[in-house]
A and B are shown apart, each in its own frame.
Chain A
Amino acid sequence: MRPFSYQRASDPDMAVQALGAAATNTPLTKATAQPLAGGTTLIDLMKLDVMRPTAIVDINPLAHAWSAIEPGSDALRLGALAKMSDVAAHAEVQRSYPVIADSLKLAASAQLRNMATLGGNVMQRTRCNYFRDVSYENCNKRNPGSGCAAMDGVNRMHAVLGTSDQCIATYPGDFAQALIALDATVEITGKAGTRSMPFAQLHKAPGSTPDIETALQPGDLISAFSISGRWPRSVYLKARDRQSYEFALSSAAIALDVQDGTIRDARVALGGVATVPWRAREAEALLKGHRFDEALAQRVADAAFADARGRRHNSFKIALGKRVVARALQQAVTMEI
């Protein structure tokens, strides 16, 4: 850890100013000023010397405006500073958006969920061990152009979808899979005021620039997420090494609209297996307009992983991921609502 200045944001403008003052051409992850929410990712990475901001802008004082949980009649708005635990425990979220409540409830530990915010959660960074250990020179995400130590290293936890020859790091979060499945919109407060974009456009696949992880620029803050429609028939299934306090080896966020046994609308998102929050659209297409059976579930699962590419230790995630998708679909179809 290195010395840094600490400021508390008095209002959104001040926070945006303080964060955006520094050079704008640097990728967000390298910006000299970083926002602090729960701190459960940021402080860890600073202790590990992976992130070296010289200025910290504490955005928690904005909570009075940015932490509301607002279910509407046919929509949901979540403030970016809402705590994971509060959203997971919210009765209306549980009733109308079980995939959101469960993705949060099954993440991290109770202590972390009490500290961590939704905004910080979607912005959490990969758990790739080579990324988090600065004694490794070769990490394209940390040191662009230096190579990738994980590619032929210990890569059991790494991604099989959305990888590039530059980076195979898994996007580790759970909540983002629920957001991307439900076509959420993310509201961003930045230098030019407030704007919105589809959540699906927030994260960037590594491609040739794994250091650029999101569409945000220095000075941008996530202020809220919103979802239209209600998704009572939705599930989040997470397979992991232990029963709590553990990232997904493979997870599936599924949301269905089933009428008279026919699937009208279907959403399939995958976690633990991809470099970014992952939507399996080809797989969804197979479901729409059909009645559910096991053979269909199998075809959907195969389609979801059609482009998957395993490496030495993580190939198992392809078979595992398919079984998780099939099982989650079955759960969603049979759930009582």
Chain B
Amino acid sequence: MNSHYYSTRTHDVAEAGNETAANELASLVEVRQDDRRSLPSDPKPIMECEGVDVFYDDFRAVTDVSLGFGYNEITALIGPSGCGKSTLLRSLNRMNDLILGARVEGAVTFHGQSIYAKDVDPIEVRRRIGMVFQKPNPFPKSIYDNVAYGPRVTGAKVSDMDDLVEEALTRSALWDEVKDKLKQSALGLSGGQQQRLCIARTIAIRPEVILMDEPCSALDPIATSRIEDLMVELVKDYSIIIVTHNMQQAARVADRTAFFTALADEGTGDRTGLLVEYDLTAKIFSTPADERTENYISGRFG
């Protein structure tokens, strides 16, 4: 077990004892603890949502979400499938622009500036707010060209591309595995390696925020654990927002966790995503304020 993970209580103890609900919850997950996790109760935000609604045509997928994403923190978005986590995440770097009929209302700010303001270039937004997708999607190019792609297309002034590629691959804990085959196709890598390559590719454009949409859902447990270690490493320099359906994962890596749920709209009957509770991960997984959070975390929620 890695040293920065610990279990507040093992299952057996929890079952044997006469426990409070809080301890029971805590026993289900290992909450990451390390020295720098003495966080303020409110994040110092690099990005903020204020009253954000996201629509697909007339369908409101996300309703009235307000929260701040902490600078150099990992924020996890959890909740049942279909509650709008991916939709919200994609609205944070304007990937929703690519979907016909998708529309964002409310304010999404980055360093206090609205990313949906009229004169904002979505390309610049995406260059600063990178994204890693659910299914690894390396280009059918060489490993080297995958990493160099971003700097090349954004016209970044790079004095030495070889150095930059090496640095990005090193930071994504992939360098040792691929340094002898940089010219080979990225499609020859394993799923876990491909996902780390996608992270390297994102790092290579030096974004400030990295969005990850269930980055481990297509990976085996060992590859998952490597990516989780990597996130904990990267958060020293980046702010990370991760969607995950895996609560253990949220507990293991996230500093703060936002729990979403889908509620049926009273008028139309459409299910729309709502933010139920947002707090420090340790708090969410031990003493959640909302009963729905507690039910979901303890598995009582369908």
A binds B: no
> Measuring CB to CB, which residues of chain A are less than 8 angstroms from any residue of chain B?
none
